[in-house]
Chains A and B, each alone.
Chain A
Amino acid sequence: MPKLKIASYWASACGGCDVALLDLHERIVDVANAADIVFWPIATDFKYADVERMPDQNIDVTFFNGAVRNSENEHLAHLLRKKSKVLVAFGSCAHMGGVVGLGNLFSRKEIFDAAYTNNLSTENAGLTMPNLETKVPEGKLTLPEFYNTVKKLDQVVDVDYYLPGCPPNPNRIFEVFGAIVAGKLPPKGSVVGASEQTQCEKCERKKSEKKIPGFKRLATAQPDAETCLLEQGFLCMGVATRAGCEHRCQKSNTGCRGCYGPPPGVYDQGLKALSAIASVVDADDEATAKAMVDAIPDPARYFNRFSIAASPLHRRSV
């Protein structure tokens, strides 16, 4: 049997997803035995032109991590879609927009102002801003266009599978890779490498009737390691998040952040968590209830931390 050809690409990403692939450690040898890596910018020296020269559908599986934030990301999404038989949205950014998607609560202008002019550590008296084209004596220099709105991968191209996580758990990556090699992939459009159950269903902390006495923050309080974090008043997205990560956050005594995305059938992960958590605050009159939920300072970016681009409103109205 000929070896599989696989590729991994980072679009608008932090690099953590590629590191998660490397976190397979010695199992990466098993991967290399079963597959040839034909394109992987973080680890190999193939250029975009090498991909462009490939015949269509030349790559068996592409793991695409990162959101689509600029024209370069979008170009590569289209290119890799054309060259791949199977395209996997890998990690929270490709799956739901991820942390990059938080930028959808701002406009491009606001982001540029914060990055290039209007911050304390930047001196930019000449108001130099990124230009798509700059003429220099040697010729013309170009930059990709920075879009106003971040998109998740399937808002740009057709996606076959979703492998969630920020980053995905290496054990799940290896299982999915095993399924690919064995040809045992589920129907197109499935979320792979994650459970259909929520974090709460598999969480080992002690749970009783949910009643939140008031919200606390890790900066000023310490949770005990045994009891449900929500019952102690620490925000946890476990109620609206798929299991599969092996409870990395809860085991380090901090609330789930929701990177594995919503379980099946949920309209929006953030709204589901908002609804579930707010409805169990221990307040039986309007004023107390409002005061208690007002202790959550930033609901949109907490509850949709990884999923603003995937949320029904998608971005702040401008």
Chain B
Amino acid sequence: MTFEPKIVGFLCNWCTYTGADLAGTARIKYAPNVRIIRIMCSGRVDPAFIVKAFAEGADGVLMGGCHPGDCHYINGNFKTFRRMPLLKRYLQQYGIDEKRFRLEWVSASEGDRFAAIVNEFTETVRALGPMQIGHEGVVAPQATEGTAKPVQDHVKHHAEPRKSVQATV
């Protein structure tokens, strides 16, 4: 089986999420690997969200916010660029390659750039291979086997309707 990277994307409502929306409405084709979580501001993303994504099986995390100076909340993303360089070094100390975490400023008009970033990041993570978390018999908080299984079932469950959608298009 080929490795398909699972990437979690935290995208700010006002810029990057809207940029992703633009990529969609413009029908730009790009890698489907990013699972997008819409947040109101990149400054709302606690570093814990990113670590939780990794601890529960993400191979990469993409974070998107407004360009500094363009923040809908004036300086919400200032908090982002103050925290993330420190978090990057924290992750490295835990053995997580810094290339698995990417912070990008994407505005609402940059749909093509969003698609290019996702494509590039997906290939970077693909080259790094699956994430190896060193739990060694210790289960990450809230990531027990019991909860991991229904996720797979959920994917299977949705596989059918997707096919039928494809058939009608």
Contact = CB atoms under 8 A, between A and B. Distances in A.
Interface of A: 105, 148-149, 151, 155, 267-268, 270-272, 274-275, 278-281, 283-286, 289-290, 292-294, 296, 298-301, 303, 309, 311-318
27 contacts: A149-B136, A267-B48, A268-B51, A271-B87, A279-B83, A280-B82, A281-B82, A283-B82, A285-B68, A289-B82, A290-B85, A296-B86, A299-B86, A299-B89, A299-B93, A303-B90, A312-B51, A312-B141, A313-B96, A313-B133, A313-B140, A314-B136, A315-B94, A315-B134, A316-B94, A317-B94, A317-B132
Contacts of B131: 317
Nearest to A294: B85
A150 to B, nearest CB: 10
Given A275-B48, A278-B86, A296-B86, A286 B81 contact: yes
A275 B44 CA distance: 10
Contact of B52 (A267, A270, A300, A316): A267
Contacts of A300: 89-90, 93-94
Interface string B35-66: 00000000100111001101100000000000
Nearest to A289: B82
B93 A271 contact: no
Nearest to A155: B138
A105 B95 CA distance: 8
Contact of B90 (A274, A279, A315): A274
Given A274-B47, A299-B93, A313 B79 contact: no
B95 to A, nearest CB: 3
A298 B94 CA distance: 11
A312 B90 CA distance: 13
Nearest to A149: B136
A283 B95 CA distance: 28
B134 A274 contact: no
Size range of the chain B interface in the assembly? 20 to 34
B86 A314 contact: no
Given A314-B135, A318-B95, 7 more contacts: A286-B81, A290-B81, A299-B86, A312-B52, A314-B136, A314-B140, A317-B132
A195 B140 CA distance: 26
Contacts of A294: 85
Contacts of B124: none
Nearest to A297: B89
Interface string B73-116: 00100110111011101100111100000000000000000000
B84 to A, nearest CB: 8
B83 A275 contact: yes
Interface in B117-161: 131-138, 140-141
B129 to A, nearest CB: 12
Closest 6 CB pairs of A and B: A317-B95, A300-B93, A312-B55, A316-B95, A279-B79, A293-B86
A303 to B, nearest CB: 7
